[in-house]
């Protein structure tokens, strides 16, 4: 059964990423800017709030303009880094050098501060209207979110995707974590959306 779910997720991932790859560069830029506007209007940021984002790889959405907007509101930005097989979130500072992490990703170096984000902007391969998420198949984000919850934290989870990445149904296993909301260029597309998803409970 588990292998069947894995195979289905792999097919959903492949198809959704193929649709994403097929977008023109211009369409991705316009959609990325629209998503930045939607998320900026949706979330509340308090000064000093740790917010995790991500640096784009391949045809992934570019949320750097959004991250700069949130930083201007007082967010402390961090991005994922792979350390001993798990995800941690290192502070992202303008002008600081980045190091390759594998898989085409980059992150600040080991001397960067590590944050526990209260708001997480989460990349994904595919999503459904419930906030179900298909990641890139390595389970890093599910593990990182589970670790934060073990610390008593409840970070708000905002999935970021293009509309073409939506699928009808994502099969969820016990370790999979639903997103609070998914935002695309069309607006809020999925999850338990509320007028404000900024502050952790």
Annotated binding site for substrate: 55, 60
Which residues are part of a known binding site for ATP?
A: 9-13, 133-141
- For 74, what's the count of Cα atoms within 13 Å in the CB-facing half-sphere? 8
User: Quick one: CA dihedral 16, 18, 23, 25, positive or negative?
Assistant: positive
Tokens (6 digits) for 108: 């600040």
- Residues near 1 by Cβ (< 8 Å), separated by ≥ 6? none
Whether residue 116 contacts residue 48, with contact meaning beta carbons closer than 8 Å, is answered with no
Q: Residue 18: phi, psi to the nearest 5?
A: -65, -40
Collapsed DSSP state (helix, strand, coil) of residue 21:
helix
Which residues are part of a known binding site?
A: 9-13, 55, 60, 133-141
The Cα 146–Cα 133 span in angstroms is: 15
The H or E element containing residue 81 is strand 76-83
């Amino acid at each position: 059964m588990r292998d069947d779910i894995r195979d289905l997720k792999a097919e959903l991932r492949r198809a959704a990423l193929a649709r994403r790859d097929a977008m023109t560069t211009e369409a991705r830029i316009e959609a990325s800017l629209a998503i930045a506007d939607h998320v900026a209007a949706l979330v509340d940021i308090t000064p000093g709030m740790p917010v995790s984002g991500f640096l784009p790889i391949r045809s992934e959405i570019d949320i750097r303009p959004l991250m700069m907007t949130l930083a201007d509101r007082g967010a402390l930005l961090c991005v994922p880094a792979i350390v001993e097989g798990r995800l941690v979130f290192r502070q992202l500072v303008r002008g600081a050098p980045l190091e390759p992490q594998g898989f085409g990703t980059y992150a600040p170096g080991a001397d960067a501060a590590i944050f526990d984000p209260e708001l997480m902007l989460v990349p994904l391969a595919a999503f459904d209207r419930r906030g179900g998420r298909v990641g890139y198949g390595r389970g890093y984000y599910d593990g990182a979110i589970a670790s934060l919850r073990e610390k008593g934290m409840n970070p708000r989870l905002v999935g970021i995707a293009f509309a073409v990445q939506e699928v009808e149904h994502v099969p969820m296993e016990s370790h999979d974590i639903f997103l609070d909301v998914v935002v695309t260029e069309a607006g809020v597309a999925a999850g338990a959306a509320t007028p404000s998803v900024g502050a952790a409970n």
